[in-house]
Amino acid sequence: MTTDTALKAKHRAMWALGDYPAVATDLISSLGPILVAAAGLGPGRRVLDVAAGTGNVAIPAALAGADVVACDLTPELLRVGELGAKESGATVVWQEADAENLPYDTGEFDAVVSCVGVMFAPHHQAAADEFVRVCRPGGRIGLISWTPEGFVGQLFAAMKPYVAPPPPGAQPPPLWGSEAHLSTLFGDRVRGVATRRQNVLVEGFATGAEFRDYWKEIYGPTIAAYRGLGGDPDRTAALDRDLADLGDRYLTGGVMPWEYLLYTASVA
């Protein structure tokens, strides 16, 4: 198994841990319709949702009248998405695919989008190149990504000392939430770029410790971080403290603002 193949297998397994569908449904379901509206996804548009997970964008885009293909590296998430689409009456094609090597023709789609999904592909330039390749000239690219400075970006920063360093060439996911980074990735291949930083407000946690206990049971990357500690009690306790402290810093009146970058552009 090559290093890249092993890395992708690790990512696939990580996102199958815990219960990411609950995160998508209970905490961030509002993000999908926001991206659908911003990217103008509707009738007459053939849309590709990359790293679609359970379909936060794909399902509302289909319900808005778009012809939608949803792809993801993790088949367990696609199966949940397919069930959700059937329940909502949405017609979506679900396919297993790697964001860095999409199995679609050049210029096949009118819009290529991703909601806190493609940002987790390890090789950012490869994924951005695929977005541009499969989107027709004049077509739309739409992204929602967690920012480095926001809560989720800081969550990954807090976990960084406790996980193995990424292999050479892999980049941190929250970079996709940086306007400058996206400008580097897409360059002059896009025009009409619009960016906006916004917050999704997450409720339901009274303390940082309560959030940590939920997150370490439900979110794949955090579960993987704890497993990687091998049961070391001191490091486990330290990560427990760091995540609880982070949650407390962001909680105000039972609400946590999670900042994201909304990015739209047209392929030149």
For range 64-80, the mean pLDDT? 98
Q: Give the CATH number, domain containing residue 23.
A: 3.40.50.150
Residue 115 lies in a domain: yes
Distance (Å, whole) CA 172 – CA 232: 25
Does residue 155 form part of some domain?
yes
pLDDT of 142 higher than 70: yes
Instruction: Assign 145 a pLDDT band (cuts: 50, 70, 90).
Output: very high
Q: What total of structural domains would you count in the chain?
A: 1
What mean pLDDT is predicted for residues 94-100?
A: 98
Is 55 part of a structural domain of the chain? Answer: yes
Residue 59 lies in a domain: yes
pLDDT one-digit tens code per residue, 105-135: 999 999 999 999 999 999 999 999 999 999 9
In a domain, 156, yes or no: yes
What does the alpha-carbon distance between residue 206 and residue 253 come to, in Å, rounded to a whole number? 8
Q: At residue 214, what is the residue type? A: Y
- pLDDT tens digits for range 27-52: 999 999 999 999 999 999 999 999 99
Please state the pTM of the whole predicted model: 0.96
Asked if residue 193 belongs to a domain, the reply is: yes
What is the DSSP secondary structure assignment for residue 103, as one 8-state letter?
-
Say whether 198 sits in a helix, a strand or coil.
strand
Where does the pLDDT of residue 3 fall: very low under 50, low under 70, confident under 90, or very high at 90 and above?
low
Give 152-185 pLDDT, tens digit per residue.
999 999 999 999 999 999 999 999 999 999 999 9
How do residues 209-255 score in pLDDT, each as one tens digit? 999 999 999 999 999 999 999 999 999 999 999 999 999 999 999 99
Using DSSP, state whether 74 is helix, strand or coil: coil
Amino acid identity for residue 152 in this structure: V
Name the percent of the chain lying above pLDDT 70.
99
The verdict on residue 210 lying in a domain is no
Please give the full DSSP string across 29-61, using - where no structure is assigned.
TTHHHHHHHHHT--TT-EEEETT-TTTTTHHHH
- What mean pLDDT do residues 201-213 have? 97
207 in a structural domain: no
Write out the residue range of the structural domain in which residue 105 sits: 3-201+256-267
pLDDT of 1 reads 35
Looking at every residue in the chain, the average pLDDT score rounds to 97
| Calpha distance 262→129 (Å, rounded) | 19
